[in-house]
A and B are shown apart, each in its own frame.
Chain A
Amino acid sequence: MKKILTVSILLLIGLTVLAGYFFPQALGPILNLVIDWGILLIGTAALIGIGYLIKSHISRVARRDKQSFLSFVLLLAFSATIIVGLIFSFNHPIFTDLMINVQYPVETSLLAVLAVVLLTASFRLISTRGWTPMSIAFLCSAVVTLGLDAGSIYLGTEGAGAEILNFLRRLPMVGVRGILLGMGLGGLIVGLRVLLTIEKPYGE
């Protein structure tokens, strides 16, 4: 009985949303309701996920693990953000200052670290994989794209030179298109497998 109910809900929701793609006018209000409820459930699931994160760090602090100090920092930062967010409103300057002054330096610095990591990783790629058609194409494309972005490669604004530049800019789109089509086919197959109940991500 429970299994039938679960599959019925899955099919009802899945087919309603799919039908909404073909009859957007007729099914619009129902579709909005279904998606709104889905957003509520996904939001709750995210809160549960964060709850687990906090729970695991509380237990690390309670056990006085090797690096429980770091877990304490995480819990302190979490509590401080929640308290500041609750005392002041979400758009209050003090709350936005807190967010910007933590988020901006950490995210930009992580991106800066990425620059160095990417550079060393690309050298390592060539040294471990050797000169294969893919690695040669990778390196040439990276150099040409960097040159195009920096404006170092200039072949004029019209005529054959401009066409070649356009072609060079469009060339990476060929592989991207193939990868996107592959991802689309993969998404379609996984979605259909769930809707046909071959895959059961919701458990039995």
Chain B
Amino acid sequence: MTFSYEILWIVFSFLLTLMVLSYLLGDNIFFRFASHLFIGVMAGYVVLLISNQILWPYLVRPIVNGTLPGVLWLGIPVVLIFMLVLSQFKGLTWIGSLPLAYMAGLAAAIAVGGAVFGTLLPQSRAIVDSFDPAMWYAVPNQTWFRILDAVLMLVGTVGTLSYFHFGRKRKSMTEEDLEKRPAILEGLSKVGQVFIGISLGAVFAGVFSSSLLALIDRLLFIGQFINNLFRSF
């Protein structure tokens, strides 16, 4: 019984693999079938995941097992959830602005905190630290190499930022003025282009090697399946 059950799944995986890989020949019905099946299963999985990992532990269990003050506190999210659900009906859209404001406030504060403490400060700190003379002299005979490395890091980072420089149009500025950028910014952005190219190339190489491994894995799986199929006859 277990044997046939496993075989069933292997055949199913094999067919799904072939259907997805058929996309290499162009968009076709088999690829769409596999993608719709995948989306359906994943949507069901997400519903179960949210029910099991969020609604049950954060809402239902505290209401069932919790103390009276705890249950009363939960009244606030329950009302907000109710408002969010009600806002999906025609004519009641306005009710949704309160729970949406809650989520927007939370997301904005997390974005600000994450940007400042998670990205801006540590990344700026790393650039500043590379100019620490103690680090330059840490390894003998490599001082100039370390200084060059630090300068390159600074110029590259500033150049990358300059490439993405977005100005806001002032009323007094003409289209011609907008196209012209200060010469120093223009020069730095050219340097930035090279560094962005280097970074994107490295990211590309990383993604390409993992996807190549996946391709090899799938081709091996297909080969093994066909091999086992012929052996069994």
State the interface size on chain A (CB cutoff 8 A): 118
- Please give the distance in Å from B92's CB to the nearest CB on chain A: 13
The docked-state distance in angstroms from the alpha carbon of A134 to that of B204 is: 14
Q: Which of B44, B46, B145 has the most CB of A within 10 A?
A: B44
Contact present for B20 and A178 (CB under 8 Å): no
- Secondary structure of the A contact surface, majority rule: helix
Contact present for A6 and B198 (CB under 8 Å): no
Contact present for A101 and B102 (CB under 8 Å): no
> Which residues on A sit within 8 Å (CB–CB) of B217?
108, 112
> Which residues on B sit within 8 Å (CB–CB) of A181?
119-120, 123-124, 157, 160-161
Contact with A along B90-120 (1 / 0, CB 8 A): 0001101111111111111111111111111
> Which residues on A sit within 8 Å (CB–CB) of B161?
178, 181-182
> Which residues on B sit within 8 Å (CB–CB) of A7?
101
Contact residues, A39-59 vs B (CB, 8 A): 39-48, 50-51, 53-54
The docked-state distance in angstroms from the alpha carbon of A194 to that of B41 is: 36
> Which residues on B sit within 8 Å (CB–CB) of A172?
198-199, 201-203
Q: Of B111, B193, B204, which one neighbours A133 at CB under 8 angstroms? A: B193
Known: A40-B55, A178-B161. A9 touches B98 (CB 8 A): yes
> Which residues on A sit within 8 Å (CB–CB) of B102?
9-10, 13, 37-38, 41
> Which residues on B sit within 8 Å (CB–CB) of A21?
113, 117
Q: How many interface residues does chain B have, given as a range? A: 35 or more
Contact present for A179 and B40 (CB under 8 Å): no
Question: Is A90 an interface residue when CB atoms closer than 8 A count as contact?
Answer: yes
The docked-state distance in angstroms from the alpha carbon of A102 to that of B38 is: 7
Question: Is B210 an interface residue when CB atoms closer than 8 A count as contact?
Answer: yes
Question: Is B178 an interface residue when CB atoms closer than 8 A count as contact?
Answer: no
> Which residues on B sit within 8 Å (CB–CB) of A171?
198, 202
> Which residues on A sit within 8 Å (CB–CB) of B156?
174-175, 177-178
> Which residues on B sit within 8 Å (CB–CB) of A176?
199, 203
Contact residues, A159-175 vs B (CB, 8 A): 163, 167, 170-175
Q: Of B49, B109, B112, B218, which one neighbours A112 at CB under 8 angstroms? A: B218
Given contacts A14-B106, A108-B17, A182-B160, 10 further A-B contacts (CB under 8 A): A16-B109, A18-B113, A41-B103, A106-B38, A118-B207, A122-B204, A178-B192, A181-B120, A183-B119, A202-B96
